[in-house]
Amino acid sequence: MAEIVGTGDFKYRIVENWAKLPDGWSFKEVAAVAVDSKDNVYCFTRGEHPIIVFDRDGNFLRAWGEGQYPRAHGIHTGPDDSLYLTDDGGHFVRKCSLDGKLLLEIGVPGKPAPYMSGEPFHRCTHTALSPKGEIYVSDGYGNARVHKYSPDGKLLMSWGEPGTGPGEFNIVHNICTDAEGWVYVADRENHRVQVFDGNGKYETQWNNLHRPCGLYMDYTRHPVCYIGELGPSMAVNLKSPNLGPRVSIVDHEGKLLSRFGDPHASLGPTGFIGPHGMCVDSRGDLYVGEVAWTLWPGVFADQPRPDNIRCFRKFEKVR
């Protein structure tokens, strides 16, 4: 019998081995995941096949992007069913059609801006869209900035700098928006999500999170936010319980609605290693991609890393 996780209106049945990969294929790890208007699922992977597409039943449809994405990091679907892909190893953002046709590129592949210069990009991480179609880019590992672009890729403004104060960042790891134009930024190593208006004015922040990593919000008014939280990373607290990794679900003001995951990093049916990217389809089913291959040495240093680590699951909403 399938495991049930979550509470209240957010209970899910875990669907193990949902994605049916072709023989001999591997995700390696799934950095991010998105769905289109037909509930087809797009996995942005760090394996040989960067984009792997499935229908909602997990049947393989197609793959593309081979050799074009050095290190997958973020993906989301625009209202016109275009895909926005962020590659932190290549320092670029691409807008593509669902079959991989390049529609827009921002950044120069392979040419990062100077470290912490504030100039785009140095290991950018994710994108989101304003109600007018403007593109926000979180930037990321080698910067502490959010950049705002016009729909055709012209830089309009940037905000943020290293630090712990309002509007400052310590690893800008993810970004999303709602239909009213608010901008939500996962400020990972400051253990918070910061909320801004569309021009970068600090409004508030959500606390009581541990290394918020993945973010997903439906593009609606007063949306629910799904947050993937990473677990402890230091030797002194690595085995401390109740810090993640886990998935938390909050309302538009940051109030906790549901939370699930084992007390420690785990490959058990209800556990996580690194919930890095997520999305929700039209039926409320949750898809979670994990960077388990990357995080394994830090979490399970005393254990050999398996060739194929679980890195992608479907959580079917209990109705």
Mean pLDDT within 106-125: 98
**Average pLDDT of the chain, as a whole number:** 96
Please write the tens of the pLDDT for every residue from 212-265. 999 999 988 889 999 999 999 888 998 899 999 999 999 999 999 999 999 999
Q: CB of 247 within 8 A of CB of 225?
A: no
Token reading at 199: 């021009």
Q: CB of 138 within 8 A of CB of 84?
A: no
pTM: 0.97
Question: Can the peptide bond before residue 121 be classed as cis, meaning omega within 30 degrees of 0?
Answer: yes
Buried b (16+ CB within 10 A) or exposed e, 102-134: eeeebbeeeebbeeeebebbbbbbbbbbbeeeb
| C-alpha span between 61 and 53 (Å, rounded) | 5
| C-alpha span between 280 and 77 (Å, rounded) | 11
DSSP state of 180: T
Helices (H) and strands (E) in the chain, counts: 1, 27
Q: CB of 217 within 8 A of CB of 278?
A: no
Mean pLDDT within 13-32: 96
DSSP state of 188: G
Using the predicted structure, report yes or no on whether residue 83 has a pLDDT greater than 90: yes
Classify residue 252 as left (phi > 0), alpha (psi -120 to 50) or beta: alpha
- Domains, the chain, in order of start with CATH, read 4-317 (2.120.10.30)
Using the predicted structure, report yes or no on whether residue 1 has a pLDDT greater than 70: no
Q: CB of 269 within 8 A of CB of 13?
A: no
pLDDT-derived band at 302 (thresholds 50, 70, 90) equals confident
| C-alpha span between 214 and 211 (Å, rounded) | 9
pLDDT at site 283: 96
pLDDT at site 207: 96
| C-alpha span between 202 and 212 (Å, rounded) | 18
Using the predicted structure, report yes or no on whether residue 125 has a pLDDT greater than 80: yes
pLDDT at site 319: 87
pLDDT at site 235: 87
